[in-house]
């Protein structure tokens, strides 16, 4: 926790937004949150010609970096991988001179089609969401960012009809506002498996 205003950058990657019932509302809530910069990567780079200088400057200007995406084959949509490959260069994000990201905070806000019970050792997918995201966690470690647990929604295909969307979006809005205000206990958030198990637990001063 810093108690200082922090700038948050949300990098949104959804290749099929017209079918998005959760990610798009999450992104729209992010756009409405003061102190948050929102970038729709598929809209900005429809041909995948990523402007490396622009993206690196965005990273320099923000304190918290968020990847927002639906889980595709246990990973990110393609444009986020392309973004990592091009933007997080040696000498910028890692290496002896690559210190631009040191001290920043990184997290993923994602949705998964399967039920939460499928993302366990004994479940259909054999691994937890946090375990599946370990390449991104190591990316954060290598670049000197503090990785905090993901904010994840399971069973995304049925969330709208089951009435789970609104609460999830409101929890995300609370977390975003707390990140901007520097009221998130980052050490506690780094240790847990998922932030949305009890979001208020990680927000200093939140009513529970």
* pLDDT confidence of residue 3: 62
Q: In this predicted model, which residue has the larger pLDDT, 20 or 188?
A: 188
Average pLDDT, the chain: 88
Q: Give the pLDDT score at 160.
A: 65
36-40 and 64-70 as β-strands: parallel, antiparallel, unpaired? unpaired
Q: How far is Cα 130 from Cα 192, in angstroms, rounded to an integer? A: 9
CA dihedral 109, 33, 16, 105 (to 10 degrees): -30
Q: How far is 191 from 23, CA to CA, in rounded Å?
A: 25
- Which residue ranges form the domains of the chain, and what is each CATH number? 8-202 (3.40.50.360)
Per-residue pLDDT, 173:
93
Q: What is the DSSP letter of 38?
A: E
Q: Determine the distance from the C-alpha atom of residue 96 to the mean position of all C-alpha atoms in its chain, rounded to a whole number.
A: 27
Residues 190, 147 contacting (CB under 8 angstroms): yes
Question: For the segment 64-123, what is each residue's pLDDT rounded down to a tens digit?
Answer: 999 999 988 888 999 999 999 999 999 999 998 999 999 999 999 998 876 767 777 886
Tens digit of pLDDT for each residue in 26-59? 899 999 999 999 999 999 999 999 999 999 999 9
What is the pLDDT at residue 82? 97
CA separation for the pair 170, 165 (Å, rounded):
9
Core vs surface per residue 83-104: b (16+ CB within 10 A) or e: bbeebbeeebbbeeebebbeeb
What are the phi and psi torsion angles at 70 (to 5°)?
Answer: -85, 140
Higher pLDDT, 3 or 82: 82
Among 12-21, 45-54, 109-118, 155-164, whose mean pLDDT is lowest? 155-164
pLDDT of 2 over the 60 cut: no
């Amino acid at each position: 926790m810093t108690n200082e205003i922090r700038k948050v950058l949300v990098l949104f990657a959804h290749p099929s937004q017209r079918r998005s019932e959760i990610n798009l509302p999450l992104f729209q809530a992010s756009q409405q949150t003061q102190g948050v910069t929102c970038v729709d990567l598929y809209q900005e780079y429809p041909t995948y010609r990523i402007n490396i200088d622009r993206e690196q400057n965005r990273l320099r200007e923000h304190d918290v970096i968020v990847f927002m995406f639906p889980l595709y084959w246990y990973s990110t949509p393609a444009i986020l991988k392309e973004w990592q490959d091009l933007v997080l260069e040696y000498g910028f994000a890692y290496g002896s001179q690559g210190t631009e990201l040191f001290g920043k905070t990184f997290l993923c806000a994602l949705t998964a089609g399967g039920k939460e019970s499928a993302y366990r050792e004994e479940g259909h997918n054999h691994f937890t969401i946090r375990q599946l995201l370990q390449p991104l966690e190591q990316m954060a470690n290598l670049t000197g960012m503090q990785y905090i647990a993901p904010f994840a929604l399971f069973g995304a295909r049925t969330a709208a009809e089951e009435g789970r969307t609104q609460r999830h979006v409101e929890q995300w809005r609370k977390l975003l506002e707390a990140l901007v205000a520097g009221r998130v206990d980052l050490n506690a958030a780094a240790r847990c498996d998922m932030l949305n198990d009890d979001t208020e637990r990680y927000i200093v001063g939140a009513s529970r």
